[in-house]
Amino acid sequence: MQRRELLKLLAIGSTLPVIPTPVLAACRQIHASFAHSPSLKILSAHQHAAVTVMAELVIPRTSTPGAKDTRVDLFIDHIVADWYSDDERALFLKGLDSVDSRTQSLFQKRFVDASPEQQAEILRSLGDELTQAADALAHRAPGYRGSPPEPENNFYWQFRRLTLIGYFTSEVGFTQQLHEEIVPGSFDGCAPVEAVR
């Protein structure tokens, strides 16, 4: 599958729980690769720590595993490294660094060193800004009555989308949260072969 096709399908797949089969297959393959090479591809150790904490705040462990348990952090690292364009990657990494800057200016510490309450406050403010950006886009289209559009150039929109897709395409997210089964496609070995002309 080509990078652009996967990103397009990821955008479609962000309206969970409906996950198109090609997205699920590509993402399941990414998840399976972690068993062989769980090393980071693009994130620094500090960025990785921030992604892990942020993803766990978005999908915390409850009676089912959270984002950290399903290795959403590695999923995000993989997608940003291998599937994002240079511009998308730069936007994501700049946004990730801005989370530290924001935390530093409010609490005089890096995001990963902040208290859980402070970390949650940072994500709430990012969520508020995302909502404002989506509302602004909706007001640009007179008569628009659908859900607020998603501002694709917004770091937190990218991050939440990757977190949700990474989680819900993991085996745990797919089977325990969505209550879906991972079943191979059908095979009919008795189908007649058409004559080749």
Question: Is there a domain that residue 60 lies in?
Answer: yes
Question: Is there a domain that residue 19 lies in?
Answer: yes
pLDDT at 29: 81
Name the more confident of 42 and 154: 42
CA distance 62 to 84: 31
Average pLDDT over residues 186-195: 60
125-176: pLDDT as tens digits: 999 988 887 777 666 666 656 555 566 688 999 999 899 888 888 876 665 5
Report the chain's mean pLDDT, rounded to a whole number. 79
Q: Which domain holds residue 130?
A: 3-177
> To 10 degrees, what angle do helices 45-58 and 86-107 make?
80
Secondary structure letter of residue 69 according to DSSP: T
Number of structural domains in the chain: 1
Q: pLDDT-derived band of residue 63, with 50, 70 and 90 as boundaries?
A: confident
Taking 50 as the threshold, does the pLDDT of residue 2 lie above it?
Answer: no
Rounded to two decimals, the pTM is 0.75
Question: Is there a domain that residue 55 lies in?
Answer: yes
Percent of the chain surpassing pLDDT 70: 68
Taking 70 as the threshold, does the pLDDT of residue 45 lie above it?
Answer: yes
Angle at 146 between CA 141 and CA 151, to 5 degrees: 65
Question: Is there a domain that residue 195 lies in?
Answer: no
CA distance 193 to 181: 30
Question: Is there a domain that residue 196 lies in?
Answer: no
- The answer to whether the beta carbons of residues 70 and 166 sit under 8 Å apart is yes
pLDDT at 80: 95
Question: Is there a domain that residue 186 lies in?
Answer: no
Question: Is there a domain that residue 54 lies in?
Answer: yes
Taking 80 as the threshold, does the pLDDT of residue 190 lie above it?
Answer: no
What count of other Cβ atoms lies within 10 Å of the Cβ of residue 169? 27
Question: Is there a domain that residue 182 lies in?
Answer: no
CA distance 30 to 77: 11
Average pLDDT over residues 74-83: 94
pLDDT at 93: 96
* Terminal alpha carbon distance of the chain: 30
CA distance 147 to 168: 22
Average pLDDT over residues 88-94: 95
Q: Identify which of 3-7, 104-108, 130-134, 145-149 has the greatest average pLDDT.
A: 104-108
| CA-wise closest residue to 80 among 69, 70, 90 | 90
